Amino acid sequence: MKTIVKHPGDLISQEYFDVRYEVLRKPLGAPKGSEQLAKDNDAIHVWAEIEGQIAAVGRAHLLEDDEDGSVVDVNADSACPAFPPLSDEYMEMEDDSGTIIGPNLRPAIQVRAMGTLDEYQGRGLASKVLSVLETESIQLWNANSGWLQARMEAIPFYEANGWCCFGPEYHIPNVGPHVSMWKNFETLKR
């Protein structure tokens, strides 16, 4: 297995986007092109290759100080809600483990578009992609925390990688039920 990292502004291969489409958008009946996301040019992209084939993909982008993680995904006719701890009106809240979220959350990143082709699942590729995204985000942006909206079936994967759920389940139009998750990167910085 080989891991490839691309930083903001780097050229990303079409094969990477094809894998994103195949895993994340095609099963939803979304049109080709919906795998392209806002802020892709500003993101860190990581993929795992096996024998030259891109098998697992993921990306992370820096959340600017005025961003709360909410996003309208025009290409997929969908929208994701905000992460309340990142809102202008910070309110102390607990995650599902009982840990208080915050208040030193920024710089913060948002992970999106994580996926592994079916024939490569169960080999630890997505865990490697996620770990590299975390490490690169800390190195490039000095990130203190990570945030994502997880599909229900992906929750055990993220929990196994140190992420924690918070808040209620919600429905993302044209995608399905999700829950918000976060990870404190302070322990990774030591």
Per-residue pLDDT of the chain (190 residues; tens, 9 = 90+): 999 999 999 999 999 999 999 999 999 999 999 999 999 999 999 999 999 999 999 999 999 999 999 987 766 677 889 999 998 877 789 999 999 998 889 999 999 999 999 999 999 999 999 999 999 999 999 999 999 999 999 999 999 999 999 999 998 888 889 999 999 998 888 7
Q: What is the pTM of this model?
A: 0.95
Tell me the CA end-to-end span of the chain in Å, nearest whole number. 27
Q: How would you write the chain as a 3-class SS string?
A: CEEEEECCCCCCCHHHHHHHHHHHHHHHCCCCCCCCCCCHHHCEEEEEEECCEEEEEEEEEEECCCCCCCEEEHHHCEEECCCHHHCCCCCCEECCCCCEECCCCCCEEEEEEEEECHHHCCCCHHHHHHHHHHHHHHHHHCCCEEEEEEEHHHHHHHHHCCCEEEEEEEEECCCEEEEEEEEECHHHHC
Extents of the domains making up the chain: 2-189
Pick the CATH number of 2-189 from 3.40.50.300, 3.40.50.2000, 3.40.630.30, 3.30.420.10: 3.40.630.30
